[in-house]
Amino acid sequence: MNDLDHLVQAAADEFSAAATPADLENAKARYLGKAGRLTELLKGMAALSPDEKKTRGAEINAAKQLVESALNARRHALAEAELELQLRAEALDVTLPGRHRGIGGLHPVSRTMERIEAIFGSMGFDVADGPEIETDWMSFTALNNPENHPARSMQDTFYVDMKDAEGRWLNLRPHTSPMQVRYARAHAARYAGRDPMPEIRVIAPGRTYRVDSDATHSPMFHQCEGLWIGENVSFKDLKAVFTDFCRTFFETDDLQLRFRPSYFPFTEPSAEIDIAFASGPLKGRWLEVAGSGQVHPDVVRNFGLDPERYIGFAFGMGPDRLTMLRYGVADLRLFFDGDLRFLSQFK
Ligand code: PHE
């Protein structure tokens, strides 16, 4: 063996001995680095004659190639070993039993909303969605509830300290009734040329807000507005539709409805709708589930329609209340606490 063979052998031995990529890079530096042994040999050639340079240079380069291939082989082997280790560490025992994952379910109020939509949908009602941040005009003025009128305080409204682009004050809608106006105006505009205009038949479910909190009131609650306007829609249709709805919703005909005279600025006459079950734990107790009435002529005018020609009814019901009644829950706040022990019972 000549000196170069020794050097190649020594390099190969050191590379094999390197246990980590960092060790290997250090070993590499000792041979191929700036002050490495092969590099020094190449520098030493400066003193040789041209002929000697030629043969010696070729020998050194051949040795250098051998060192480099030994280095690459070891690099590859170390990488393989590392991958092997990692694979072993991450090995899965596919025969182990799986971990249980809870399956989500619909919130009981969402279930009620879906039922309401399905039932009114089957009666030909459209379902509309609208903004929860409303203008003063939509929430009150358009609904015949002028500024400074005491009826505005029927609803303890959350006002937003901000105006819209047209300078109207904003509020968190205290009821879904503004959707009567939004939907009817859009409908009237869309069918402007049609005579007679196709009837408006819509429900608008959604979140509503009032400064109110006890066992049967939550600052955020739900309402579902209903509106039916045409040339021949009367209070008797309201009674029929709402009675049908309640019987289908509660899956019983053993149920009575009572239309109790009331006041809302946007309906005339107005009525609260109470229901009473003929059997079950709530037997015989009258429970208020909705406000309703024949839409006031001024409101029909704000819809963009002629109140001499178009008439109808509106109602606003409380899906949270309906959920309490359907499942026998006594405290509304339970629905919004987010306690899975309570909520998972409705899955
Ligand atoms: N918006 C009324 C309320 O929140 C309910 C209602 C709706 C009454 C439609 C009549 C007609 O109390």
pLDDT, tens digit, 9 for 90 and up, residues 130-183: 999 999 999 999 999 988 777 677 678 898 899 999 998 899 999 999 999 999
- Tell me the average confidence (pLDDT) per consecutive run of 10 residues in the chain, 347 residues long: 87 92 92 90 87 90 92 94 92 87 90 97 97 94 86 79 90 97 98 95 97 87 97 96 97 95 96 94 90 98 97 97 92 92 91
SS3 43: helix
The pLDDT value given to residue 148: 78
Atom nearest to 295 CA in ligand 1: 11
Q: Longest C-alpha distance within the chain, in Å? A: 121
Other Cβ atoms less than 10 A from the Cβ of 229: the count is 24
The pLDDT value given to residue 1: 65
The pLDDT value given to residue 240: 97
Please choose from 152, 222, 242, 266 the residue to mutate so as to test ligand 1's pocket, defined by most ligand atoms within 8 A of CB. 266
Q: How far is the CA of 143 from the centre of ligand 1 (A)?
A: 10
Residues 108-346, CATH architecture: 2-Layer Sandwich (3.30)
d(CA 309, CA 238): 18
Q: Are 177 and 316 in contact (CB under 8 A)?
A: yes
Q: How far is the CA of 69 from the centre of ligand 1 (A)?
A: 86
> Hey, whose CA ends up nearest to atom 9 of ligand 1?
315
* Of the candidates 219, 264, 224, 222, the residue with the CA atom closest to the CA atom of residue 246: 224
State the pTM of this model. 0.72
Atom nearest to 175 CA in ligand 1: 4
SS3 148: coil
d(CA 32, CA 152): 88
The single-letter DSSP state of residue 272 is E
Q: How far is the CA of 265 from the centre of ligand 1 (A)?
A: 9
Q: How far is the CA of 175 from the centre of ligand 1 (A)?
A: 7
* Segment (H or E) for 41: helix 37-44
> Hey, whose CA ends up nearest to atom 12 of ligand 1?
291
In sequence order, what DSSP letters do the residues of 112-143 get, joined into one string? Answer: HHHHHHHHHHHTT-EE----SEEEHHHHTGGG
Give how far the C-alpha of residue 135 lies from the chain's centroid of Cα atoms, to the nearest Å: 25
Q: Are strands 267-277 and 255-264 parallel, antiparallel or unpaired?
A: antiparallel
Q: How far is the CA of 279 from the centre of ligand 1 (A)?
A: 28
Find the residues whose C-beta lies inside 6 A of ligand 1: 175, 177, 264, 267, 270, 291-293, 314-316
> Hey, whose CA ends up nearest to atom 4 of ligand 1?
175
The pLDDT value given to residue 191: 97
Q: How far is the CA of 213 from the centre of ligand 1 (A)?
A: 19
* Segment (H or E) for 53: helix 50-89
Sheet of strand 287-295: strand arrangement: 126-127, 200-209, 220-230, 311-317, 287-295, 267-277, 255-264
Q: How far is the CA of 292 from the centre of ligand 1 (A)?
A: 6
Q: How far is the CA of 291 from the centre of ligand 1 (A)?
A: 5
Q: How far is the CA of 141 from the centre of ligand 1 (A)?
A: 14
Atom nearest to 174 CA in ligand 1: 4
Atom nearest to 180 CA in ligand 1: 9
Q: How far is the CA of 227 from the centre of ligand 1 (A)?
A: 11
Atom nearest to 154 CA in ligand 1: 12
Q: Token pair 């990488």 is at which residue? A: 79
Please choose from 157, 177, 222, 303 the residue to mutate so as to test ligand 1's pocket, defined by most ligand atoms within 8 A of CB. 177
